[in-house]
């Protein structure tokens, strides 16, 4: 899907347009080969640049060709998986050409949707270098947002684990830990790319752009630190609660074993008194049936008291 936008000089508002013009933004999401060929012909950008972000395993990097600059960064995504929200990252290609800015991604991202919906202030499509930095700042902000969500979800799952003996909560924690690994890898790759961008000539022309890029680097480093902290906490939590769940299971098994011991006493006694042979105690006694029950109950009570003192019941 190809969408073209431009900030109009009269209203300074972002408007969708039908044709490629100078100073416009071309947003490409999950494109077909025909879409890429069309954009390549009209913009002069090579197909290798346009296809770079269509590989899910593409790492964050910077490349140049003629007058075109390619910046690939990993951006965070949320996905629904088995009624649970999971987190992942995908590459986003930002191509700075002589007249336009092109973004290419496999999926529609909230980061770029915020620009379309007017949620980003002081945004102009013709300020291409500033636009790149605004996208990068938005990416770092979303990483921080999703990391806070992961922390809140892990706390909620921990509360359930206090009284749980099932695998559901552990699988959810494992999914969050996997998301943190993806985020950590992507953020570290982005950090290298951001450091390289400080040396780009298009950013050295404007001191304000350098300041924004430094803010982006700070936000990215903060996200890396948060990822490491949450990952360590989550790993320790999973180890601790694995022991808790195992201990809960042991307590239940101990209780069941104690109940089995207590319940076996009446079976033994009633089995002995149920034999059809002469000489059974209390056989000639009028209240012998009640006496056997009383003796059985007394033995069971003594057994329960003994097990409790041994902390086995």
pLDDT at 81: 66
Q: List pLDDT tens digits, range 168-180.
A: 777 778 888 888 8
**Residue 312: pLDDT over 80:** no
Percent of the chain clearing pLDDT 70 (strictly above): 90
Closest CA to 97 of 137, 55, 49: 49
CA distance 92 to 54: 8
CA distance 306 to 11: 86
CA distance 186 to 76: 9
Token pair of 227 as six digits: 């990822």
CA distance 264 to 273: 14
**Residue 10: pLDDT over 60:** no
Q: Is-contact 102 133, C-beta < 8 A?
A: no
Q: List pLDDT tens digits, range 76-94.
A: 888 776 666 788 888 999 9
Token pair of 15 as six digits: 């408007």
Q: List pLDDT tens digits, range 61-78.
A: 888 887 888 889 999 888
Q: Is-contact 296 265, C-beta < 8 A?
A: yes
Rg of the Cα trace of the chain?
A: 34
Confidence band (pLDDT; 50, 70, 90) for 238?
confident
Stronger pLDDT, 304 or 115, i.e. the higher one: 115
| Alpha-carbon torsion, ordered 272, 277, 281, 283, to 10 deg | 120
- Least-confidence region, from 26-30, 200-204, 269-273: 200-204
Does the domain at residues 247-310 carry the CATH identifier 1.10.20?
no
pLDDT at 298: 83
Q: Is-contact 50 39, C-beta < 8 A?
A: yes
Q: List pLDDT tens digits, range 117-157.
A: 888 888 888 888 888 888 888 899 999 999 998 888 888 87
The fold of the 2-246 domain, in CATH, is Beta Polymerase; domain 2 (3.30.460)
pLDDT at 198: 77
pLDDT at 168: 74
CA distance 94 to 306: 74
Closest CA to 124 of 11, 14, 4, 17: 14
Confidence band (pLDDT; 50, 70, 90) for 210?
confident
Q: Tell me how far apart the terminal alpha carbons of the chain are, to the nearest angstrom.
A: 66
* Sequence ranges of the domains in the chain: 2-246, 247-310
Q: List pLDDT tens digits, range 13-29.
A: 888 888 888 888 889 89
CA distance 268 to 179: 57
Mean pLDDT, to the nearest integer, of 38-42? Answer: 86
Phi, then psi, of 91 in degrees rounded to 5: -75, 145
Confidence band (pLDDT; 50, 70, 90) for 261?
confident
Which neighbouring-strand residues pair with 90? 75
CA distance 239 to 260: 32
Q: Is-contact 93 68, C-beta < 8 A?
A: no
**Residue 205: pLDDT over 70:** no
> What are the distances in angstroms from CA 288 to CA 136, 268, 282, 297, 299?
89, 17, 5, 14, 16
pLDDT at 83: 62
């Amino acid at each position: 899907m190809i969408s073209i936008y431009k900030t109009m000089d009269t209203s300074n508002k972002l408007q969708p347009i039908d044709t490629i013009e100078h100073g416009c933004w071309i947003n490409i999401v999950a494109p077909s080969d025909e879409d890429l060929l069309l954009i390549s012909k009209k913009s002069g950008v090579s197909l290798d640049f346009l296809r770079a972000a269509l590989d899910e395993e593409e790492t964050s990097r910077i490349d140049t060709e003629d007058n075109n600059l390619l910046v690939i960064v990993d951006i965070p995504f949320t996905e629904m998986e088995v009624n649970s929200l999971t987190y992942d990252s995908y590459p986003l290609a930002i191509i700075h050409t002589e007249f336009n800015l092109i973004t290419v991604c496999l999926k529609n991202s909230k980061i770029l949707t915020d620009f379309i919906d007017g949620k980003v202030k002081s945004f102009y499509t013709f300020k291409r270098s500033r636009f790149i930095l605004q996208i990068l700042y938005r990416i770092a902000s979303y990483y921080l947002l999703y990391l806070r969500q992961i922390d809140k979800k892990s706390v909620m799952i921990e509360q359930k684990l206090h009284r749980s003996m099932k695998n559901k909560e552990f699988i959810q924690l494992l999914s969050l830990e996997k998301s943190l690994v993806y985020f950590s890898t992507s953020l570290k790759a982005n950090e290298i790319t951001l450091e390289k961008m400080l040396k780009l000539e298009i950013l050295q022309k404007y001191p304000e752009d350098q300041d924004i890029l430094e803010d982006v680097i700070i936000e990215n480093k903060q996200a890396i630190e948060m990822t490491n902290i949450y990952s360590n906490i989550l790993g320790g939590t999973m180890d601790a609660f694995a022991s808790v769940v195992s201990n809960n299971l042991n307590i239940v098994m101990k209780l069941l074993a104690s109940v089995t011991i207590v319940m076996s006493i009446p079976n033994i006694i009633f089995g002995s008194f149920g034999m059809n042979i002469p000489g059974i105690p209390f056989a000639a006694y009028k209240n012998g049936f009640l006496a056997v029950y009383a003796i059985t109950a007394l033995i069971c009570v003594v057994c329960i008291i003994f097990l409790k003192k041994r902390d086995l019941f």
